[in-house]
Amino acid sequence: MYGRKVKLRFLFIILILLSLILSVFLILKSLEENVVYFKSPSDIQLLEEIQDKKIRVGGMVKENSIEISSEKINFIVTDFKNEINVVYSGVVPNLFSEGKGVVAEGYLKDRSFFEATKILAKHDENYMPPEVKAILKEK
Amino acid sequence: MLSSLMGYYSLIFGLCISLLIILFSVKNFKNSNILDSKILLFSFLQLVLVFVSFLGLVISFVNSDFSNETVFNNSHTTKPLFYKITGTWGNHEGSLLLWLLVLTLFIFIFLVKSKNQLKKYRILTVIFQQIIIIGFFTFLIKTSNPFNYLFPIPEEGLGLNPILQDPALAIHPPILYLGYVGSSIIFSSVLAATTLNYINNDWAKHIKGWVLISWIFLTLGILLGSIWAYYELGWGGFWFWDPVENVSLMPWLALTALLHCILVLEKRSLFKSWIIILSIATFTLSMCGTFLVRSGILNSVHTFANDPERGLFILSFLFVLIFISIFIFFVFHKSDNKKLSPIFLLSKETSIVINNWFMMYFLSVVLIGTVYPIFLDVISSQKISVGPPFYHKLIIPFLIPLLIFMAIGPRLKWIKSELKDKLSLAILLIISVLLSLFIVRNFETNYLLNSILIGSAFYLFFITVRDFFSKKTQRLSQNIAHFGFSLLILSILFNSIFSNEIITNLKVGESYKDDDLEIVFNDLTKENKKNYVLFTGVFSIKDKSFNNILKPELRIYNQPNIITSEADIKITLLQDNFITINTVKNEDYFNVRYMIKPFMLWIWVSVLLIALGGLISLFNKKHEE
């Protein structure tokens, strides 16, 4: 009925469509699983349940809250309304210090305790992560 | 003062010349048959003017002329001369001036190099390129003038961000820009060629050089940025799927796809529409990159200033360009459906189509991962980030078929082909699978995915190595680039499997011990340097294969007041031993990070090999058939 060329072309288009659908599906599914949400200490207070999912917490490092020992570093992240204790054992970026903005990535243990797996590096002393800026603006 | 004025007025004159060039071009387009020599002359004049303007800025930086706002914001008298010069493009305004300089340089080179091309095509390319140049002139003068005057003149400047004071970063922006801006020539040229219905074999041969040039520079630029992040930022790796890295990877993927398609168009009249779309996409992605990075939407070291006006300008400029190109594509482009050339399933054309599928897939993954968080923020003000697992999960499995196609594709011939010496191909496949099984089994990393990946990477590795020695190798450039890619994947895999990292907090005199490793913090010395105070930690490290003293540094810059860590890296052929220290709250404890990174050197070398492939192709155009 149809020529060989037409059939081939038809097959080709179906193949393209299939691979397109497949890749869109894969991307969306993987996106859903691997997205990391950003929360402020106040957001965390409002959480309904504590999930075992990686999140980011941002705010300012509270004055006089950093404690360091040979294994770990403890500090408090605050958005001047609420605060949360963070425990961390890992690399500390250069600009991590008291009274400066910070973004920590890790797992929430309960509403006032956060176990960080990574503290995000920043590059400039005047620089504040947009997320942290937004939090401070809200208050 | 004088140099700033000179720079500023050169910019204004440069902009005027753009308008003159367009005027001459439009006149010349209809009238005569040869290119008006005035166009060439004025392009040269424009190049000189932009160069003078750039030189003016460099001189202001060298003289620490703080009446210039850009210099004041980004320089300091105690800064070493080298970083005074490189600081010129270590900021928003200066880097844009550099971008403009490269734009004018490239269009001049284009005019000189394209003497054999049609006159109309050359003129149209000049016009489109001048539209881009005018856009950048206006952007520079209106929103980011590098020559703003400050009064009263400050005594001292604010200084350059110390992490930018590094040799790799001094040449990273110019190299990357050569890549980005090279894609602007491809863009202008493809628009001109579409308008004149000139997308054919001759055009492909001519534009291939430009595609190669921007591809090579983009590759090298990404490499330099990556090396810098490895040792200066102390990230201790080569790729982090940071949005800013992704933004440079996207044009690279599009350009790689384009590079392969051009090879087809050189020989056969296929994929014309697709090539037009790819060329437009490459430049758009480069511009989008600039927009995302400069507008402050992405947070990174590249975000020099958060200025909404700048973002808006780039965005609207981008829309104008996209609109023009879509208009040209739909109005002028005639697809020649009537004389469809045959394609058979087993042919070089098919393998290149497959290459493009992979590139487009990777591109969409990276694009979605980068843009989705911004999109979500605008729509629902939810703040999210997309981490490496997303990219790894979506990209790594697809590397396996990519590697195998990369091994087999180049051995196919045009139009219709048969796979020759199947026996040796099969034998090599078996050898590489066995080898990877042996490696994976012996080192107790029983990941199924890893062994298949290593197997397919070895397959490409062996086939390309064999081709170096066989006389049948037709395309040395392709073989080197593919060989480099297999080496890259192998090094990355071994690097990620065998890496080891220890993070601990130590005081001077303390030591860290585990089963087979000992780190002793022997000493800490203090030294005053020109613009920073230097602390050097002395660590002795002992394990089975490594017994050495490493000296990581901690620099406390005085202007601006920033602490940076300088890693100490012991580089050998097989592995890097990497250590950084950092203070926390000025206490006695130092945050120490020690890493063993196998095959790091080979990651850099393999990317160089990939770029070398492009370079050989560029200089070997005539001999390779």
Residues B614, B608: Cα–Cα separation, whole Å: 10
Q: What is the pLDDT of residue A38?
A: 83
Q: What percent of chain B has pLDDT over 70?
A: 92
Contact B368 A131 (CB under 8 A): no
What HEC string does B254-289 produce? HHHHHHHHHHHHHHCCCCHHHHHHHHHHHHHHHHHH
Tell me the two tokens of residue A16: 């393209």
Interface of B with A in 251-280 (CB under 8 A): none
Chain B residues 555-594 within an 8 A CB cutoff of chain A:
560-565, 580, 582, 584-585, 587, 589, 591, 593
Per-residue pLDDT, B625: 41
> What pLDDT does residue B304 have?
46
- Whether residues B585 and A66 touch (CB distance < 8 A) is answered with yes
Indicate yes or no: CB of B300 within 8 angstroms of CB of A123. Answer: yes
Q: Do B389 and A125 touch (CB under 8 A)?
A: no
Residue B362's pLDDT is 94
b/e per residue, B366-382, with b = 16+ CB within 10 A? bbbbbbbbeebbeeeee
Span B235-251, average pLDDT: 85
| Helix, strand, coil shares, percent, chain B, to 5 | 65, 10, 25
Chain B residues 60-89 with a CB less than 8 Å from chain A: none
What's the length of chain A?
139
Q: Which residue do the tokens 């994929």 mark?
A: B271
C-beta separation of B181 from B102 below 8 A:
yes
Contacting residues of A for B382, CB less than 8 Å apart: 37
User: Do B587 and A95 lie within an 8 Å CB cutoff?
Assistant: no
Suggest the residue from B395, B585, B589 to mutate for an interface test with chain A (most A CBs closer than 10 A).
B585
Question: To the nearest whole number, what is the mean pLDDT of chain B?
Answer: 86
Residue of A nearest to B235 (CA): A121
Cis check for the bond before B251: say yes or no (omega within 30 of 0): no
pTM: 0.90
What are the C-alpha distances in Å from A64 to residues A34, A97, B45? 35, 10, 61
Provide the number of CB pairs (under 8 Å) joining chain A to chain B: 109
Residue B383: closest C-alpha in chain A: A38
Rounded to an integer, what distance in angstroms lies between the CA atom of residue B194 and that of residue B332? Answer: 6
Give the bridge partners for A73, in sequence order.
A68, A88
A128: nearest CA in chain B? B299
Q: What's residue B29's pLDDT?
A: 84
Residues from chain A that touch B580, judged by Cβ atoms under 8 A, are 91
Measured between beta carbons, the chain B residues lying within 8 angstroms of A95 are: 562-563
Helix and strand numbers, DSSP H then E, in chain A = 3, 7
- Tens digit of each residue's pLDDT (9 = 90 or more) over B400-444: 999 999 988 888 877 776 766 777 788 888 888 888 887 777 666
CA B436 – CA B207 distance, rounded (Å): 41
What is the DSSP secondary-structure string of B335-395?
A: ---TTPPP--SSSHHHHHHHHHHHHHHHHHHHHHHHHHHHHHHHHH---EEE-HHHHHHHH
Q: How far is B296 from chain A (nearest CA, A)?
A: 9
* Binary contact (A73, B365; C-beta < 8 A): no
Segment holding B12, helix H or strand E: helix B2-30
Residue among A30, A35, A71 whose CB faces B384 most closely: A35
Chain A interface residues facing chain B, Cβ-Cβ under 8 Å?
5, 19, 23, 26-27, 30-31, 33-38, 54, 56, 66, 68-73, 89-98, 121, 123-125, 127, 129-131, 134
- Residue B8 to residue B147: CA distance in whole angstroms: 6
Beta bridge partners of B68: B149
Q: How far is A52 from chain B (nearest CA, A)?
A: 16
Q: Strand, helix or coil at B196?
A: coil
Segment A105-112 shows an average pLDDT of: 87
Which chain A residue's Cα is nearest to B296? Answer: A130
Closest CA to B259 of B333, B185, B209, B184: B209
Q: Which residues of A touch B394 (CB under 8 A)?
A: 26-27, 30
DSSP-derived 3-state class of residue B134: helix
pLDDT band at B43 (very low <50, low <70, confident <90, very high): very high
Q: Taking CB atoms and an 8 Å limit, are A37 and B384 in contact across chains?
A: yes
From A91's Cα to the closest Cα of chain B, the distance in A is: 7
pLDDT at A135 over 80: no
Q: Which of B357, B365, B582 sits opposite A94 (nearest CB)?
A: B582
> What tens digit of pLDDT does each residue of B513-539 get?
888 888 999 988 889 888 888 999 999
ipTM above 0.85, yes or no: no
A131-134: long-range pairs with CB below 8 Å, 24+:
A131/A38, A131/A56, A131/A58, A131/A103, A131/B383, A132/A58, A132/A59, A132/A60, A132/A101, A132/A102, A132/A103, A133/A101, A134/B383
Contacts of B385 in chain A (CB under 8 A): 35-36, 38, 56
Nearest to B385 among A38, A69, A98 (CB): A38
pLDDT digits (tens, 9 = 90+) for B134-178: 999 999 998 888 998 888 888 888 877 777 788 888 888 889 989
Query: What angle in degrees, to the nearest 10, is found between the helix axes of B243-267 and B201-231?
Result: 160
Alpha-carbon distance B295 to B238, whole Å? 25
Q: Does residue B57 surpass a pLDDT of 80?
A: yes
Which has the closest alpha carbon to A70: B512, B458, B598, B277? B512
pLDDT of residue B270: 80
CA distance A96 to B562: 11
Q: Is the sign of the CA dihedral B63, B64, B67, B69 positive or negative? A: positive
pLDDT at B335 over 70: no
E strands, A13-121, in order: 35-39, 55-61, 67-68, 73-78, 83-88, 101-110, 113-119
pLDDT at B238: 85
pLDDT score of B624: 45
Centroid of chain to Cα B528: 36
User: Which residues fall within 8 angstroms of residue B579, CB to CB, at 6 or more apart?
Assistant: B539, B541, B550, B552, B567, B568, B569, B592, B593, B594, B595
Backbone angles phi, psi at A125, to 5 degrees: -70, -25
DSSP string, B290-330: HHHHHTTSS-STT-----HHHHHHHHHHHHHHHHHHHHHHH
Distance from CA of A129 to the nearest CA of B (A): 7
Nearest CB partner across the interface for B584, out of A23, A33, A66: A66
Residues 13-42 of B with CB under 8 A from A: none
Helix (H) or strand (E) holding B41: helix B37-62
CB half-sphere exposure, B271, CA atoms < 13 A: 26
pLDDT interval class at B297 (50, 70, 90): low
Lowest mean pLDDT among A75-79, B156-160, B232-236, B467-471: B232-236
Confidence of residue B586 (pLDDT cuts 50, 70, 90): low
Where helices occur in B381-522 by DSSP H, the ranges are 388-408, 422-442, 448-469, 476-498
Minimum CA–CA partner of B386 in chain A: A35
Owner of token pair 């349940």? A49
Which residue of A23, A35, A92 is in closest CB contact with B364? A23
pLDDT at A130: 59
Q: Which residues of B touch A131 (CB under 8 A)?
A: 383
Residues of B whose CB is below 8 A from A66: 584-585
Of the candidates B90, B92, B111, B95, the residue with the CA atom closest to the CA atom of residue B46: B111
pLDDT above 50 for B257: yes
The sign one gets for the Cα dihedral A26, A29, A32, A34 is negative
* Gyration radius of chain A over CA positions: 23
Question: Residue B276: which pLDDT band, with cuts at 50, 70 and 90?
Answer: very high
Residue A139's pLDDT is what?
A: 52
Nearest to A68 among B390, B563, B584 (CB): B584
pLDDT digits (tens, 9 = 90+) for B545-580: 778 899 998 888 877 777 888 888 898 898 888 898
Chain A residues with CB-CB distance to B510 below 8 A: 70
Q: In terms of CA atoms, which chain B residue is nearest residue A93? A: B582
Where does residue B105 rank: exposed (0-12), middle (13-18), buried (19+ CB within 10 A)? Answer: middle
Chain B CB contacts of A133 below 8 Å? none
Question: If you count them, how many residues does chain B have?
Answer: 625
Per 3-state DSSP, what percentage of chain A is helix, strand, and coil (rounded to 5)? Answer: 30, 30, 35
Work out the pLDDT band at B294, boundaries 50, 70, 90: low
Interchain pair B591, A89: CB under 8 A: no
Nearest alpha-carbon partner for B576 in B498, B483, B503, B506: B498
Secondary structure of residue B544 in the 3-state scheme = coil
| B167 CA: distance to closest CA in chain A (Å) | 17
Q: What local confidence, expressed as pLDDT, does residue B358 receive?
A: 92
pLDDT digits (tens, 9 = 90+) for A33-91: 788 888 888 888 888 777 788 888 888 888 888 888 877 889 998 888 888 999 998 88
Chain A environment of B561 (Cβ under 8 Å):
125
Q: A12: nearest CA in chain B? A: B345
- The DSSP bridge partners found for residue B506 are B590
